């Protein structure tokens, strides 16, 4: 039996090693199977890590036995164990869905490449999350970014290429900013280990170099996070990527970026330094704008995938809003929404995957009146949509409740109103889609389809069902988010 | 056989309609079996609720915790007399409406009847949740679910008009509840630390009056189902639904869920003494008074019969809101009784409107001249129903109005007293005049002989009309049930 330290290393090394092996398997189905098995194994590892940190406490693994700050260390605590589980879990569920969808959307000679990129992307996302080394963050970030450009570019629509390129440009600028920031920190502190930087910064924090580093890093992460108004790459990328890639990235990539933001704000720079700067004010304005603008723009989208993408911009706003409150309750609400939103958006993008699988399009105009032909898929869309709105007994409601509570707790009632107004806008964009799918006359009668196959419906409903389950039983989601928020605020359990 | 514990019965009240709707779905190919299941489910539910009632009125107070989504705040069921009354009312009228619906839906040749019965049953389950909600969070949750479950019923026909109405319905009800109601609930949770209903209110002594006032306003406006102006537009919009829906949901279950929530919040969250000290309560009760008059005036101008009834409902709902806000025991007695009295009166009127539609395809008041000679039974029932709405003898509406008037006198609100009296006159003008036209004016297009609606419709009309009169002659039971409440206040 592997020790917990070894498990932490396996979390990264196994998908990294399996990725080229997958490429060697020319058969798409076998490549898929190996990827799925790897991903599920990583989910198991992540759950072991989470159980360990919750029961025993955080731990550090030194790679190759080189002690920090010379070597690289992986630090696992409640916060990143939680994110690791979200990332690997969502990857596994989406992969269950992937085989048929990929077989339909991607040419046979590119399928194993697709799965290779997937595993590399997974490696990168897990790596960013688990590592305790600032430069290592950049390295893993680039691994995940480069592979996600590939994933997006494999979309059937030729516009996938331009949107991937757009993302590449923006993503690279973001990564460069992060690198510059880390460089500045290295100049000031002479170390790349996050814990070490944090310790040394406490003496020298109020210099202009450190503040510049902070600004570069926040803006850089903001780009990867699609923080309004740096979100312009996101709608196209999600809209034209293959269905499963949209679901995977929507449920994981931005979550990891948010984790990165929290790690830098709370662990590296420290709470006092970060919030002495006008971070709270900036975030509250940007995130409120994200919620309102993102939702309004979502109302006018014809393509359902773009609609969900703009809704993601708004939902990222909710997470940042929680962060901007600068309280433990707000932070906990943000972390909770990371989990809840992963479940909601993952589920909804899989629903669209089902529609695309049968109709070959996510355009609302072409899908009008066709919801009735796929009743289970349509029902899943409604259930997921309700969660997005924040109707009771769904995860969306739980998030909203926690966020409004946290905002009112410090008397920020305008923030509470923004959150609630976001719900109203969400009704409009969700219900517009529901109406068109159900009530509009069918645009062309020739195409009568069957319900999506069980292989697609099961993972979809697994996530949609999780929406309802975690909307009622919040022991796990709120429980872990609370512990993680406490850990970030105080550094103790 | 061992009789199950009251807690189990409570849970069953939610489960029975849901299970029923599942079987309705299974039997979708066999209309007769399907309707049989609806009726059986209705009877089972009413029997179950009656069993709970027999224990509650002897003093038992069963409780049941469903889940605890937020630490300290639960989803729980609990019974108190007011909720018991509401549950009895809704479950009993569901049976009657089901009988009526069978005649109506077939007579009218509606499509998608299975969907109709499924969502109807689910709506009733949500109403049971509202009635038995043990705390404010649960009340809010079932309130929202009720909105969603009734949406497919409102948009049943799927026409452009139905879709537009559905948008108004969902838009107003979800917006008000998500913004005002939810905000008030969260604020209360933070302020007090509990959301459990308790006699005399839950806000601690010394809570700032402006906080209480703002919260009360948030609650009253947030509960859009009570249709206080300016958030009343959804109710006329909902009239596009098939008549049984308008009858049970938009004259009884949904709208009563609204005023029931307000009443319950006034009694168990604010309490009489808090209400008396709040200027906002008085302003809101004046707004309710304004709604009573304004809606009546709008109703006069409506030629469409269902639209006229809808505005009449808006006006009547504000009676209950007004009574709830006055915060004295006569007003609360009147408000509780009015929930019941108005339910029987208004459902009768809707049943009649539907019967006229099915038998003669007439929707407008101006087309009803002389119809009393063709549909004497229906028009007679309409007359009784409209008397009850106006609050005149020999109908149930008189007693509830009596107590409401007493309540305004106790509170020293002369303006509101006059509002109630003026409202009676207006009701006579725009409701009682309809059957009078029907009986005394000559027929526009000659019809030979009597042509009434299908038999199930008539049975339903007969039952509700009888009860409307019966509650005038024997009001003791209703009064005792309500006064059992009053002593605990």
Question: What DSSP line would sit under B210-240, residue for residue?
Answer: HHHHHHHHHHHHH-GGG--TTS-THHHHGGG
ipTM of the complex: 0.88
Quote the tokens at residue A132: 């305790």
For residue A131, what are its two tokens? Answer: 């590592």
| Nearest Cα to Cα of residue A294 among A279, A310, A308 | A310
Out of A420, A471, A478, closest to residue B182 by CB? A420
Q: How many domains does chain B have?
A: 1
Predicted local confidence at residue B1, as pLDDT: 45
Element (H, E) at B141: helix B136-154
Contacts with B170 from chain A: Cβ below 8 Å? 427, 431
Q: What is the domain extent for residue B367? A: 282-489
Select the residue of B140, B171, B175 nearest A392 (Cβ to Cβ). B140
pLDDT of residue A179: 94
The rounded distance, in Å, linking the Cα atoms of B61 and B10 is 11
Our CA angle for B184, B189, B191, nearest 5°, is: 90
Give A 326-345 residues with CB within 8 A of chain B: none
In a domain, B193, yes or no: no
3-state DSSP of B327-355? CCHHHHHHHHHHHHHHHHHHHHHHHHHHH
Q: In whole angstroms, give the CA distance from residue A161 to residue A150.
A: 9
B141/A424 Cβ within 8 A: no
From first to last of the 489 residues of chain B, give the pLDDT tens digit.
Answer: 456 677 888 888 889 999 998 988 888 888 888 888 888 999 999 999 988 888 877 777 888 888 888 877 888 888 888 888 899 889 998 888 888 888 777 777 777 788 888 898 999 999 999 999 988 999 999 999 999 999 988 888 888 888 888 889 988 999 999 889 999 999 999 888 888 888 878 888 778 888 888 999 999 999 988 888 888 888 888 888 888 888 887 788 888 999 999 999 988 888 888 888 888 888 988 999 999 999 999 988 888 888 888 899 999 999 999 988 988 888 888 888 898 889 998 989 988 888 888 888 888 888 888 888 888 888 889 999 998 988 888 888 888 888 889 888 888 888 888 888 899 888 888 888 888 888 888 877 766 677 777 787 888 888 889 888 888 888 777 777 777 665 555
Partner-chain residue, chosen from A391, A424, A439, that has the shortest CB–CB distance to B158: A439
Q: Which residues of B touch A404 (CB under 8 A)?
A: 182-183, 186
Cβ atoms of B17 and B124 within 8 Å: the answer is: yes
- Candidates A291, A295, A392: best to mutate against B (most CBs of B within 10 A) is A392
Q: Considering the entire predicted model, what is its pTM? A: 0.91
With CA atoms as reference, the chain A residue closest to B164 would be A435
Distance CA B20, CA B42 (A): 9
The confidence score (pLDDT) of residue B261 equals: 93
Examine residue B419 and state whether it is found in any structural domain, yes or no.
yes
**For residue B487, what pLDDT is reported?**
55
Q: Which of A391, A409, A428 sits opposite B144 (nearest CB)?
A: A391
A419 CA: distance to closest CA in chain B (Å): 9
Chain B residues within an 8 Å CB radius of A336: none
Within a domain: B107: no
The residues of chain A scoring below 50 in pLDDT are: none
Q: Are A224 and A260 in contact (CB under 8 A)?
A: yes
Q: Do A408 and B190 touch (CB under 8 A)?
A: yes
- Tell me if chain A has a CB within 8 Å of the CB of B179: yes
Side-chain half-sphere CA neighbours of A199 within 13 A: 8
Within-domain flag for B287: yes
Inter-residue contact A397 to A469 (CB < 8 Å): no
Q: Is residue B173 part of a domain?
A: no
* Percentage with pLDDT > 90 across chain A: 46
- Compare all CA atoms of chain B with the CA of A469 and give the residue at the minimum distance: B69
The 10 Å CB-count burial string (b at 16+, else e) for B84-95 is: bbbbbbbbbbbb
> Long-range CB contacts (< 8 A, 24+ apart) of A199-204?
A201/A268, A201/A269, A201/A270, A201/A273, A202/A270
Examine residue B79 and say whether the peptide bond preceding it is cis (omega within 30 degrees of 0): no
Question: B462 is written with which tokens?
Answer: 């007969």
Q: Is residue B289 assigned to a domain?
A: yes
Is the minimum CB–CB distance between B187 and chain A shorter than 8 Å? yes
The confidence score (pLDDT) of residue A385 equals 92
Give B174's contacts in chain A (Cβ within 8 Å).
389, 391, 423-424, 427
- Cβ of A386 under 8 Å from any chain B Cβ? yes
Contacts of B179 in chain A (CB under 8 A): 417, 420-421, 423-424
Compute the distance between CA of residue B305 and CA of residue A201 in angstroms, rounded to an integer. Answer: 76
Within 8 A of A386 by CB-CB distance, chain B residues are 148
Residue B3 is predicted with a pLDDT of 60
Residue A447, CA atoms < 13 Å, CB-side half-sphere: 16
Beta pairing class for B73-78 and A73-76: unpaired
Q: Which residues of A touch B140 (CB under 8 A)?
A: 392
Computed on alpha carbons and rounded to an integer, the radius of gyration of chain A in Å comes to 21
Q: In chain A, what's the furthest Cα-to-Cα distance? A: 72
**B74, part of any domain:** no
Q: Under 8 Å CB-to-CB from B63, ≥6 apart: which residues?
A: B7, B76, B77, B78, B79, B134
A to B CB pairs, distance under 8 Å: 72
Identify the pLDDT of residue A477.
87
Nearest to B186 among A408, A428, A471 (CB): A408
Distance CA B253, CA A57 (A): 53
State the helix-helix crossing angle for B376-390 and B455-473, rounded to 10 degrees.
40
């Amino acid at each position: 039996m592997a020790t917990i330290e070894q498990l932490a290393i396996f979390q990264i090394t196994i998908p990294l090693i399996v990725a080229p092996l997958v490429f060697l398997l020319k058969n798409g189905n076998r490549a898929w199977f190996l990827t799925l098995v790897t991903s599920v194994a990583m989910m198991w590892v992540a759950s072991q890590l989470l159980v360990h940190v919750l029961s025993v406490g955080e731990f550090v693994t030194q790679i190759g036995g080189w002690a920090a700050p010379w070597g690289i260390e992986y630090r696992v605590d409640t916060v990143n164990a939680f994110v690791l589980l979200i990332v690997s879990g969502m990857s596994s569920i989406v992969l269950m869905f992937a085989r048929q969808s990929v077989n339909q959307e991607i040419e046979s000679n590119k399928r194993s490449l697709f799965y290779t990129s997937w595993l590399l992307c997974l490696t990168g996302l897990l790596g960013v999350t688990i590592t305790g080394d600032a430069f290592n963050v950049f390295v893993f970030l680039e691994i995940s970014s480069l592979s996600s450009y590939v994933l997006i570019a494999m979309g059937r629509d030729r516009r996938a290429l331009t949107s991937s390129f757009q993302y590449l440009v923006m993503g690279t600028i973001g990564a460069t900013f992060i690198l510059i920031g880390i460089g500045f920190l290295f100049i000031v502190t002479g170390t790349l280990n996050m814990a070490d930087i944090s310790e040394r910064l406490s003496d020298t924090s109020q210099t202009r170099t450190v503040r510049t580093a902070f600004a570069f890093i926040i803006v850089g992460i903001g780009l990867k996070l699609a923080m309004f108004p740096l979100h312009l790459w996101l709608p196209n990328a999600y809209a034209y990527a293959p269905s499963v890639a949209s679901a995977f990235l929507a449920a994981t990539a931005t979550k990891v970026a948010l984790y990165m933001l929290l790690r830098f704000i709370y662990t590296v720079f420290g709470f006092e330094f970060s919030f002495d700067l006008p971070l709270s004010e900036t975030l509250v304005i940007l995130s409120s704008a994200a919620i309102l603008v993102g939702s309004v723009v979502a109302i006018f989208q014809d393509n359902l995938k773009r609609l969900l993408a703009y809704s993601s911009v708004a939902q990222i706003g909710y997470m940042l809003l929680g962060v901007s409150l600068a309280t433990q309750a707000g932070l906990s609400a943000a972390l909770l929404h990371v989990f809840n939103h992963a479940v909601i958006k993952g589920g909804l993008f899989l629903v669209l995957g089902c529609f695309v699988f049968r109709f070959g399009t996510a355009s609302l105009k072409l899908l009008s009146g066709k919801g009735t032909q796929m009743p289970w898929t349509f029902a899943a869309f409604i259930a997921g949509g309700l969660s997005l709105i924040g109707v009771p007994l769904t995860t969306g409601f739980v998030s909203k409740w926690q966020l409004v509570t946290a905002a009112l707790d410090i008397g920020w009632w305008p923030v509470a109103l923004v959150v609630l107004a976001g719900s109203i806008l969400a009704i409009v964009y969700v219900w517009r889609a529901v109406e068109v799918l159900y009530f509009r006359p069918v645009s062309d009668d020739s195409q009568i389809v069957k319900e999506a196959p069980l292989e697609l419906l099961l993972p979809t409903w697994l996530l949609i069902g999780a929406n309802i389950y975690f909307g009622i039983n919040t022991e796990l989601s709120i429980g872990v988010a609370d512990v993680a928020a406490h850990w970030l605020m105080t550094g103790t359990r | 056989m061992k009789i199950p514990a009251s807690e189990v019965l409570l849970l069953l009240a939610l489960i029975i309609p849901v299970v029923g709707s599942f079987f309705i779905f299974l039997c979708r190919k066999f209309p007769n079996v399907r309707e049989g299941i609806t009726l059986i489910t209705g009877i089972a539910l009413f029997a179950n609720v009656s069993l709970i009632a027999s224990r509650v009125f002897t003093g038992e107070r069963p409780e049941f915790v469903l889940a605890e989504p937020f630490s300290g705040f639960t989803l729980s069921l609990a019974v108190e007399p007011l909720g018991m009354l509401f549950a009895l009312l809704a479950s009993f009228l569901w049976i009657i409406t089901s009988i009526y619906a069978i005649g109506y839906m077939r007579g009218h040749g509606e499509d998608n009847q299975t969907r109709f019965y499924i969502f109807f049953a689910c709506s009733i389950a949500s109403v049971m949740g509202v009635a038995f909600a043990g705390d404010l969070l649960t009340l809010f949750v079932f309130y929202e679910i009720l909105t969603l479950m009734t949406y497919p019923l409102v948009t049943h026909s799927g026409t452009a008009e139905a879709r537009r109405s559905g948008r108004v319905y969902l838009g107003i009800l979800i917006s008000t509840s998500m913004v005002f109601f939810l905000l008030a609930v969260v604020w209360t949770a933070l302020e007090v630390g509990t959301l459990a209903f308790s006699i005399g209110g839950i806000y601690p002594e010394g809570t700032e009056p402006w906080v209480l006032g703002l919260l009360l306003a948030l609650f009253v406006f947030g509960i859009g189902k009570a249709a206080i102006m300016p958030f009343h537009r959804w109710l006329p919009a909902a009239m596009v639904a098939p008549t049984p829906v308008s009858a049970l949901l938009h004259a009884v279950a949904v709208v009563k869920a609204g005023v029931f929530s307000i009443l319950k919040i006034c009694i168990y969250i604010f309490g009489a003494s808090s209400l008396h000290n709040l200027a906002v309560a008085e302003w809101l009760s004046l707004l309710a008074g304004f709604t009573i008059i304004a809606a009546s005036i709008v109703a006069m101008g409506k030629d469409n019969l269902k639209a006229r009834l809808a505005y009449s409902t808006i006006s009547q709902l504000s009676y209950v809101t007004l009574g709830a806000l006055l915060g004295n025991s006569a007003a609360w007695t009147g408000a509780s009784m009015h929930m019941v009295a108005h339910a029987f009166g208004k459902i009768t009127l809707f049943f009649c409107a539907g019967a006229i539609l099915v038998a003669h395809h007439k929707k407008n008041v101006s087309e009803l001249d002389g119809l009393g000679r063709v549909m004497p039974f229906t028009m007679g029932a309409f007359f009784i129903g409209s008397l009850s709405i106006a609050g005149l003898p020999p109908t149930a509406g008189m007693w509830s109005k009596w107590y409401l008037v007493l309540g305004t006198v106790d509170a020293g609100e002369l303006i509101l007293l006059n509002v109630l009296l003026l409202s009676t006159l207006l009701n006579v003008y725009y409701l009682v005049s309809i059957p009078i036209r029907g009986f005394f004016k000559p027929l526009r297009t000659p019809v030979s002989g009597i042509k009434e609606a299908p038999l199930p419709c008539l049975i339903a009309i007969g039952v509700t009309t009888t009860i409307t009169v019966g509650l005038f002659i024997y009001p003791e039971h209703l009064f005792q049930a309500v006064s059992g409440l009053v002593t605990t206040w």
